[in-house]
Structure 1
Amino acid sequence: MFGLSRAVTRCATATPSLLRFFSAEEKMRDAILSGFSEDTFVEVKDISGGCGSMYAIEVESLDFKGVSKVKQSRMVNDLIKKEIGEMHGLTLKTRVPK
């Protein structure tokens, strides 16, 4: 409950435009794509109710083949380190295409 109330408080006090959130999502998506091969799929969603404090990110790439889940997460996290520092929360799913 504590995490949820902090997110709600942060949302209530945040006043940036929706365009900024779209740009933040696109910025993270582009940063992640820059570190992977062209066949990589990346999806970034604001899951904070629109205030930009929590994101869900999914990355599917052949670059993950043979790489542990921990290392996969680190690969993504290293590309968006600055953005992560400004977030309240992040869920990250990584996978190798079938």
Structure 2
Amino acid sequence: MAESSGITAEGIGAALKEKVGATHVEVEDLSGGCGQMFQAVIVSPQFDKKTTLARHRLVNGALKDEIAAIHAWTPKCYTPEQWENQRKGG
């Protein structure tokens, strides 16, 4: 059994809301509960006019300590407008 990182989906979500002004966050623990692999959908107005790479750098910088403690991290970053279009199937 893998050792727990102590990182939780809830903790990551709270950090994203606080540090990048996320208006919507969905964090999923893909590691079976041991906190080693996460993916997330992050919606923030701070992503406006930023490239995908710049968005990931912003998120990764905000979660520096958390990312250092886990094995894998996959963020999907959207502006509020992009997220609305995504939800509508566009």
CA distance in 2, matches of 1:70, 1:32: 17
Alignment-derived partner of residue 42 in structure 2: 59
1:13 Cα offset (Å): 3.8
CA distance in 1, matches of 2:26, 2:53: 19
Q: How does 1:16-95 map to 2 (within 5 A)?
A: 24-37=8-21, 40-95=23-78
TM-score, length of structure 1 as denominator length: 0.71
CA distance in 2, matches of 1:59, 1:87: 18
Q: CA RMSD in A?
A: 1.8
1:50/1:67 CA distance change after superposition, 3 Å: same
> One-letter code of the match for 1:30?
A
Distance across 1 between alignment mates of 2:65 and 2:20: 18
Q: Please state whether the residue corresponding to 1:93 is helix, strand or coil.
A: strand
2:9/2:29 contact within 8 Å kept: yes
Gaps of 5+ in 1: 1-11
The C-alpha deviation readout for 1:32-66, integer Å capped at 9, x for no partner, is 111233x6111111001221110011101222111
Runs of 4+ in 1 over 4 A off after TM superposition: none
Q: State the identity as a percent.
A: 31
Aligned-pair distance for 1:84? Answer: 0.4
Q: Of the two, which has the highest radius of gyration?
A: 1
